[in-house]
Amino acid sequence: MATVVTSRFVLLNPDDNVAVAARAVPAGADADVGGQRLITREPIDLGHKIAAKLISRGTPVRKFGQTIGFAACDIAPGAWVHTHNVEVGPLSLDYAFCAETPPDPEPLSGRTFMGYRRADGRAATRNYIGVVSTVNCSSHTSKAIAARLTADVLADFPNIDGVVPLIHKTGCAMQYGGEDHRQLARTLAGFARHANIGAYILVGLGCETAQPSFLAEQEHLVQIAIPGHNANSPLPLILTMQDVGGIAKTIQRGVEVLREMLPEVNKVCREPIPVSEIILGTNCGGSDGNSGVTANPALGVASDLLVAHGGTTVLAETSEVYGGEHTLTRRAKTREVGEKLLERIHWWEKYAAMFGTQINNNPSVGNKKGGLTTIYEKSLGAIAKGGTTALRAVYHYAEPITSKGFVFMDTPGFDPVSVTGLVAGGCNMVVFTTGRGSCFGCKPVPSIKIATNTPMYDRMIDDMDINAGVILDGTPVEDVGREIFERIIAVASGEKTKSEAQGVGEEEFAPWSIGPVL
């Protein structure tokens, strides 16, 4: 992507007929766009678009060198380009499977992070104990168990980051053994056995569809040896409220068990681990018109560096790659990988139609205020998080991620649900880009937040870890990408993110419920 930063506007590709405002520009201002002098016909806010040339009615509006919509009327040079004069329209995409598959990057080696090495060989970036609720009906109890392990109690166990209650609003009123049930089990199991979870217990009510026994058996869950309760059995401890005797007794028993776990979980120590063992989940939320200009491309640079070091970077949010999926199929490693991505896209089209809506029912209100006009524009900018290497695999929601390199996971665009799937799949780091200011955390995995613009970064500095808005002032995208890469290593080694410092991350556990509530 040939990015040209001028004093007021960014032209992302020589073939584009719109440019993006790097700062708020009043009406009647001079604008140099790709060497052409324009006069703004109206105020253009930060992240919004200006017509770089005449865009005739019905012709494509182009950004990133791609079509992001069609002119609903003639748009004069210097005019504001947004929802009032752009419509979505149908795209004719050439998927050209594997036509532009890039060569493998030049391998890099030698970099390590200070992580925890689990007994089974996996690499962890944090060390939590999990209280896994199988159903909403045991959520209060699970949360109360975790709350009893206060900072005072954990002070004697410095290698434990905390106790996280994994609670949610589902677990019943679904088909037993059906797709929703199996996906929930896969998600809960993904967190229970996550490398960042040193030990866990399962807490259920007793009469729910999502039985703890089903979860343990279907997902082959095992537990570390905890003196006093499972010395002769590797199976996880299950507390069923109806069997234990209700809320108070289950809380008491849960706290007793967790206290028994603390010394064992605390035994781990950080040690050097190759960067190749980082599995990076990427997400964007509260996006704006500069997301695809600053933070997302910079994260793409970091993704490429991680892949070159032998690591894994994961793109997600299927409903927010819609309209740009052809750029991924063209760089797929095999035709099978590209076709699997398209199968997911078509599934989403049918899924949305079942409820009388469309997959392109986007951008959100905040996205539009930030300058995003169509889902095509949003998707093309979001895809930049994945960098430029070959797409090597496509995973279903919460499916264990086993491939190295750049891969994709099928998730909704809703941030908590998307990141829940990524973490369940094994991501041990998350980087989250935002233009409007999303305050996101996701225990037990640290989440680095990257601001797309300086005004928001300054306004929300207590929540943002990195300011990619400096790109709009002339800092090269590559420099910010390297900064992100180095921060990933630092945070994986134990440095706290802004969300971790504020204790954010327990409420964001949100398994995706895909079926009807019966």
8 Å CB contact between 215 and 133: no
Per-residue confidence (pLDDT) for residue 224, from 0 to 100: 65
On whether residue 116 sits in a domain, the answer given is no
* Domain hosting residue 62, numbered range: 4-87
CATH of the domain at 12: 2.30.130.110
Q: What is the sign, positive or negative, of the torsion defined by CA atoms of 257, 259, 260, 265?
A: positive
Residue that is written with structure tokens 């900018």 in the block: 381
Average pLDDT over residues 160-169: 98
Domain membership of residue 371 (yes or no) is yes
Omega of the bond prior to 363 within 30 degrees of 0, cis?
Answer: yes
**Shared-domain flag, residues 189 and 80:** no
The distance of Cα 16 from the centroid of its chain, to the nearest Å, equals 28
**Residue 110, in any domain of the structure:** no
Please name the residue ranges forming H helices in 266-399.
295-308, 326-329, 335-354, 365-369, 375-383
User: What is the pTM (predicted TM-score) of this model?
Assistant: 0.96
User: Does residue 92 sit within a domain?
Assistant: no
In-domain check, residue 97: no
What ranges make up the beta strands (E) of 205-305?
A: 237-240, 271-274, 279-284
| Element containing residue 55 per DSSP (H, E) | none
Q: Are residues 240 and 299 in the same domain?
A: no
In a shared domain, residues 317 and 368: yes
pLDDT tens digits, 233-249: 666 789 999 999 999 99
14: amino acid identity, one letter: P
pLDDT at 178 over 90: yes
Name the band, by pLDDT with cuts 50, 70 and 90, for residue 35.
confident
pLDDT digits (tens, 9 = 90+) for 329-339: 999 999 999 99
Pair 298, 190 in one domain: no
Mean pLDDT of 413-418: 97
**Average pLDDT, stretch 285-298?**
97
pLDDT at 6 over 80: no
User: Which pLDDT value is given to residue 234?
Assistant: 60
Name the band, by pLDDT with cuts 50, 70 and 90, for residue 222.
confident
Same domain, 260 and 362: no
Query: 150 and 295 share a domain?
Result: no
The residue among 32, 63, 87 that closes a domain is 87
Largest CA distance in the chain: 78
Considering the domain architecture, whether residues 212 and 251 belong to the same structural domain is answered as yes
Same domain, 279 and 212: no
Distance separating alpha carbons of residues 174 and 208, to the nearest angstrom: 10
Mean local confidence (pLDDT), 81-91: 95
User: For residue 9, which amino acid is it?
Assistant: F
CATH label of the domain that carries residue 161: 3.40.1400
Q: What are phi and psi of 141, to 5 degrees?
A: -65, -45
Residues of 337-361 as b/e, b for ≥16 C-beta within 10 angstroms?
bbebbbebbeebeeebeeeeeebbe
515 in a structural domain: no
Half-sphere exposure of 67 (CA within 13 A, CB side): 16
pLDDT of res. 229: 58
Q: Are residues 293 and 344 in the same domain?
A: yes
Burial class (CB in 10 A: 0-12, 13-18, 19+), 275: buried
Amino acid sitting at position 152: D
- Does the pLDDT at position 1 exceed 70? no
Residue 290 near residue 453 (C-beta atoms within 8 A): yes
Query: Is 160 a member of any domain?
Result: yes
Number of domains in the chain: 3
Q: Looking at the structure, tell me whether residues 42 and 187 fall in a common domain.
A: no
* Residue 160 binned pLDDT confidence (cut-offs 50, 70, 90): very high
CA-angle at 259, arms to 257 and 265, nearest 5°: 100
345 and 295 in a common domain? yes
Domain C-terminal end among 27, 55, 87: 87
293 and 312 belong to one structural domain = yes
E strands present in 107-220: 112-117, 123-124, 128-133, 162-166, 197-204
Average pLDDT of the chain, as a whole number: 95
pLDDT at residue 457 greater than cutoff 60: yes
123 assigned to some structural domain: no
